Amino acid sequence: MSEKKLVLIVEDEPDVSSFLTILLEDNGFTTDIAGNGREGMEQAAKLHPDLITLDISMPEESGLKMYKLLKENDDLKDIPVAVVTGITPEFKRFIEQHRKLPAPEAYFEKPIDKAEFIDTAKELTGQKS
């Protein structure tokens, strides 16, 4: 069996990050948590995860900032990002205003569909054809 894939969960709400942790670990992933965008960038650079789930509705817009920094960083831009958010219009506006940035690899609105979330996570980490 191949080595477990690592997912970095960037989320400020502890209940949501524990839920995602358990859900992902139950489905064969290992995880790491960052509580804000700044920590998220540090962890991403250090751990080079296979997937990042990113809450973009964290305080002071640090999720949006992290997304921009990630996609502008040559070393990290290929890590797939699944945006998990409560606010649809804000993220769409952000992507429209930053046309040079690519759209995220996946996009989930809270509350998430568990099966779809896991399917997508497997797909983005190359565990599914």
Partner 1 sequence: MSAASNSDAILNQFMKDSLFDALPMGAALVGSDKRIRAVNKQFEEVFGVFKGRLCYHALKQTQRECATCEADLCLAEKQMLVADHVLVDRHGRDIDASLFYQPVSLTGSGDPDHVLMLISKLTETRKWKREFDRLFEHVPCYISILDKDLNIVHANGKLEHTFGRAEGASCYKVYKGRNSPCTDCPAMQTFSDGLEHSSTQEGVTHDGKLAKYFVNVSPLSWGSDGVEKVIEISTDITELSRLEKEALDNERLVAVGQTVAGLAHTIKNLLMGLEGGMYMVDSGLKKGDEARLERGWDMLQRNFEKTTAMVRDFLSFSKGRVPSLIQIDPAKIIADVVELYHDAAGQQGVELLSGDEPAPELAPLDPEGIEACLTNLLSNGIDAASVREGGGGQVTMSTFDREGELIFEVRDNGIGMEADVKRRVFTTFFTTKGNRGTGLGLLTTRKIVQEHHGVIEVDTERGVGSVFRIRLPRQELVKVEEEQKIRNEKALQYR
The reply to whether 114 sits near partner 1 by the rule CB under 8 A is: yes
In angstroms, give the least distance from the CB of 28 to partner 1: 14
- Backbone region of residue 82 per phi and psi (left: phi > 0; alpha: psi in -120 to 50; beta: other values): beta
Q: By CB under 8 A, is residue 12 in contact with partner 1?
A: yes
Judge whether 127 and 106 are in contact, CB under 8 Å.
no
Residues 56-75, interacting with partner 1 (CB under 8 A): 57-60
Among 1, 3, 15, 96, binds partner 1 (CB under 8 A): 15
Taking alpha carbons only, the member of 1, 2, 24, 3 closest to residue 82 is 24
Which CB sits closer to partner 1, 8 or 16?
Answer: 16
